[in-house]
């Protein structure tokens, strides 16, 4: 297969992938638009029914306004730093610098390129392997570690919140309760609580230290925890009640996630079978009639057809993954 054919195939792949990405983003934008329209309508109906709100409701509205302004003031910086490499490293819980990460990426590039060279691949494949080893594999591992760390955090966070509630009801200050949790729990929960306590100890306000932790642990549950600390600091409300409700919400979300996983297991099994069938059939044909199947690997037309089949199969699996990927 010559270079023009390779370029044409790559362009077709990019166009199809771009179409899928645009379709996904448009669907997400339409969903957010519908949700916002429902929220606005609901807020309007509530305002029409409670036009004569009491002083307590006004006070709550002022608190929400202050929290929203504080969040918006740091929102732009958070968006800029959200996808930075240093933030990804912090989310993964690694104690390395950006420079060290690029050194590991360069080492990965060399290893992947050498493996492709020993396999006798062409210059184009070697170039793609080098790019994948430098930019693809290290970031993929980093995101996987960050995702696993967040999952481990959520598994222990409800128990940590309930332990904090018990300590608060026993009369312990909030900062000391956080210190106790950091020493009692290992893993991501202990690490994040320890960082929050250390920053509070050097003079940073406790709510501010908690909001900084949401950058290392970008989860709605952590955002709720930081918001609860901010409300308690501004109004003196009952933090134990807020944390109890938050613990119940997290456990309810876990139950809902497990239910969704059970309901979508049939679709996952179907996607796995559909993806595995062509490989099993090709392997069976290879042992039954090798000359018949080797046409796909020895002729230019066969290679083009094989590349197209692989691309369309990957796009189909990707589409089914989007269909069964429910966010809670």
DSSP run (H or E) holding 182 = helix 174-184
Domain ranges of the chain: 150-250, 264-328
pLDDT tops 70 at residue 261: yes
The dihedral built from the CA positions of residue 305, 308, 310 and 313, taken in this order, carries a sign that is negative
Q: How confident is the model at residue 77 (pLDDT cuts 50, 70, 90)?
A: very low
pLDDT value at residue 21:
67
Q: How confident is the model at residue 42 (pLDDT cuts 50, 70, 90)?
A: very low
pLDDT tops 50 at residue 45: no
Residue whose C-alpha is closest to residue 307's, from 320, 323, 296: 296
Asked whether the beta carbons of 205 and 233 are under 8 A apart, the reply is yes
State phi, psi for 36 to the nearest 5 degrees: -65, -40
Mean pLDDT (the chain) is 78
The pLDDT tens digits for 90-138 are 888 888 888 888 999 899 899 988 888 888 778 888 888 888 888 888 8
- Exposed e or buried b for every residue in 107-142, given b needs 16+ CB within 10 A? ebbeebbeebeeeeeeeeebebbbebbbebbbeeeb
Please indicate whether residue 199 or residue 65 has the higher confidence score (pLDDT). Answer: 199
Asked whether the beta carbons of 20 and 316 are under 8 A apart, the reply is no
**What average pLDDT does this structure show over 221-227?**
86
pLDDT value at residue 298:
86
Residue 224 token pair: 């709720």
Task: Supply the pTM of this predicted model.
Answer: 0.63
The pLDDT tens digits for 267-304 are 788 778 888 888 898 888 888 888 888 888 888 888 88
Query: What is the CATH number assigned to the segment(s) 150-250?
Result: 1.20.81
**What average pLDDT does this structure show over 164-170?**
87
Query: Up-side HSE of residue 7: CA atoms within 13 Å toward CB?
Result: 3
State phi, psi for 83 to the nearest 5 degrees: -105, 10
Q: How confident is the model at residue 263 (pLDDT cuts 50, 70, 90)?
A: confident
């Amino acid at each position: 297969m010559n270079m023009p054919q390779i370029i044409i195939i790559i362009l077709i792949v990019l166009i199809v992938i771009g179409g899928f990405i645009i379709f996904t983003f448009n669907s997400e934008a339409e969903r957010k638009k519908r949700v916002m329209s429902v929220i606005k309508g609901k807020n309007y109906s509530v305002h029409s029914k409670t036009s004569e709100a009491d002083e307590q409701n006004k006070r709550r509205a002022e608190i929400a306004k202050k929290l929203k302004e504080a969040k918006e003031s740091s929102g732009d910086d958070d968006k800029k730093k959200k996808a930075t490499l240093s933030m990804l490293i912090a989310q993964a819980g690694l104690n390395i610098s950006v420079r060290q990460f690029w050194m590991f990426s360069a080492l990965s590039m060399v290893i992947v390129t050498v493996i492709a060279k020993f396999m006798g691949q062409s210059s184009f494949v070697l170039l793609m392997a080098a790019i994948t080893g430098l930019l693809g594999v290290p970031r993929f591992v980093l995101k996987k570690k960050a995702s696993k760390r967040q999952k481990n955090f959520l598994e222990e966070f409800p128990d940590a919140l309930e332990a904090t509630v018990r300590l608060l009801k026993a009369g312990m200050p909030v900062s000391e309760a956080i210190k106790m949790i950091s020493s009692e729990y290992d893993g991501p929960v202990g690490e994040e609580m320890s960082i929050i306590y250390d920053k509070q100890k050097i003079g940073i306000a406790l709510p501010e230290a908690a909001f900084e932790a949401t950058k290392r642990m970008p989860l709605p549950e952590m955002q709720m925890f930081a918001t609860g600390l901010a409300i308690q600091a501004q109004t003196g409300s009952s933090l134990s009640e807020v944390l109890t409700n938050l613990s119940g919400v997290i456990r309810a979300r876990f139950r809902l996630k497990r239910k969704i996983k059970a309901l979508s297991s049939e679709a996952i099994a179907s996607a796995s079978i559909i993806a595995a069938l062509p490989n099993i059939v090709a392997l069976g044909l290879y042992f039954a009639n090798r000359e018949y199947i080797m046409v796909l690997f020895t002729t230019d037309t066969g290679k083009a057809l094989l590349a197209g089949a692989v691309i369309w199969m990957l796009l189909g699996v990707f589409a089914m993954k989007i269909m069964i990927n429910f966010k809670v």
